Amino acid sequence: MSDTVERIKCLIIGSGPAGYTAAIYASRADLKPVMYTGMEPGGQLTTTTEVDNFPGYPEGIDGPTMMVQLQQQAERFGTEVRIGMVTAVEFSDEVGGIHKITVDNSTQLEAETVIISTGATAKYLGLPSEQRLRGGGVSACAVCDGFFYKGQDVAIVGGGDTAAEEATYLANICKKVTMLVRRDEMRASKAMQHRVTSTKNIDLRYNTEVDEVLGDMVVEGLRMKNNQTGEKETIDITGLFIAIGHKPNTDIFKDQITMDDTGYIKTEGKSTKTNKPGVFASGDVQDKEYRQAVTAAGTGCMAALDAERYLAEIGSVEEVTTSTYN
């Protein structure tokens, strides 16, 4: 058995649009990136059907195809994509220090720079009928899927800023939006609440929860329950949007990387720098506000540029290459 530990110049954790864009830029800058895909290769977009809002695809593209193409593009420039899960990290506090990484609880690696792009996972209610109809009318992204319900009746669950924003977004496209808030008040900011209450085709229901999503193959209706009175009511809808928050995939970085109180990684100013030298974060793992494929891709690019500059500063690459920029 060899006791030599593999040393990687640029390790990318996660394979969504942020990770692959970082990989494209890092490989073009000759950082010889190695990517570990995680448990869901391709990330959240692989669970989406049509992506209609990524620039450059006039006819739209389905999520899984887009992720395969991003992988091919990254591999064309030399990225090594490995199926595997980073299960532990020990980041150095020193500039130029080596970061220790464990993959699949067994393989040890060393990395000069690490780009964290592990994304976030949408929360669901956990009801069997909701899980069965995911992709059949149950969605966690109004901006991605709302268009398919143009002129139809839909419902949205949640009372935070996301739910409020998505409810008003849907109200522009759909005939009627029933909004279910589980308490007698919304968590959303006052301004967002005002937008909801002043939108005529949003039917706001407080103290209301989903009892069951109705339909065999696709959503046909919703049985709601008032959690104060126990009263149930059934409405006809074709789409149900769950907007009860996201969980950033940052558990393995706890106690090492500075995060906000909801677990999103904090980055320095406009950069992708974390509190550890040589460790960068891009995509939804550091962005709870925009969460779009195109914004994730943008920060992936930034993370690769930040990694390249860092490696140049510590003398690990000769200079910042121009190839990165064209």
Among residues 242, 42, 48, 284, the alpha carbon closest in space to that of 145 is found at 48
Residue 64 host element (H or E): helix 63-76
* 247 CA to centre of own chain: 9
10 assigned to active site: no
Q: Does 63 bind ligand NDP (CB under 6 A)?
A: no
Which range binds ligand NDP by CB under 6 A, 2-10, 180-188, 196-204, 297-305? 180-188
Q: Looking at beta carbons only, is 136 or 160 nearer to ligand NDP?
A: 160
Number of residues that bind ligand NDP (CB under 6 A): 17
216 assigned to active site: no
Q: Which of 35, 163, 167, 196 binds ligand NDP (CB under 6 A)?
A: 163
Q: Which of 64, 160, 221, 263 binds ligand NDP (CB under 6 A)?
A: 160
Min dist. Cβ of residue 245 to ligand NDP (A): 4
Q: Which of 21, 117, 162, 168 binds ligand NDP (CB under 6 A)?
A: 162
Residues in the chain: 326
In the 8-state DSSP scheme, what is residue 160? S
Identify the active-site residue in 141, 174, 284, 301: 141
Q: Looking at beta carbons only, is 196 or 305 nearer to ligand NDP?
A: 196
Q: Does 33 bind ligand NDP (CB under 6 A)?
A: no
272 Cβ neighbours under 8 A, 6+ residues apart:
115, 280, 281, 282, 286, 299, 302, 303, 306
Q: Does 183 bind ligand NDP (CB under 6 A)?
A: yes
Q: Does 157 bind ligand NDP (CB under 6 A)?
A: yes
Q: Looking at beta carbons only, is 24 or 120 nearer to ligand NDP?
A: 120
197 to each of 113, 180, 185, 194, 201, how far by Cα in Å?
Answer: 48, 13, 12, 5, 9
In the 8-state DSSP scheme, what is residue 147? G
**Distance between terminal CA atoms of the chain?**
43
306 assigned to active site: no
Near ligand NDP in 276-295, by CB under 6 A: 288-289
Which range binds ligand NDP by CB under 6 A, 32-40, 99-107, 156-164, 269-277? 156-164
Beta-bridged to residue 241, according to DSSP, are 139, 156
Cα(9)–Cα(307) distance, rounded to whole angstroms? 9
What region does 207 belong to: left with phi over 0, alpha with psi -120 to 50, or beta? left
Min dist. Cβ of residue 221 to ligand NDP (A): 18
Near ligand NDP in 192-251, by CB under 6 A: 209, 244-245
Alpha helices, H only, 151-203: 161-173, 190-197
Which range binds ligand NDP by CB under 6 A, 36-44, 51-59, 105-113, 160-168? 160-168
Q: Which of 84, 119, 158, 278 binds ligand NDP (CB under 6 A)?
A: 158
Q: Looking at beta carbons only, is 19 or 158 nearer to ligand NDP?
A: 158
Beta-strand ranges (E) seen in 160-281 are 176-180, 202-205, 208-214, 221-226, 232-236, 239-242, 246-248, 279-281
In the three-class reduction of DSSP (H, G, I as helix; E, B as strand; rest coil), residue 288 is classed as: coil
* Cβ atoms 92, 99 nearer than 8 A: yes
Q: Which of 125, 127, 214, 314 binds ligand NDP (CB under 6 A)?
A: 125
Q: Looking at beta carbons only, is 143 or 173 nearer to ligand NDP?
A: 143
Instruction: Find the angle CA(217)-CA(218)-CA(222) to the nearest 5 degrees.
Output: 120
* Binding residues for ligand NDP (CB under 6 A): 125, 157-163, 165, 182-183, 187, 209, 244-245, 288-289
Where in the sequence numbering do the catalytic residues fall?
A: 141, 144-145
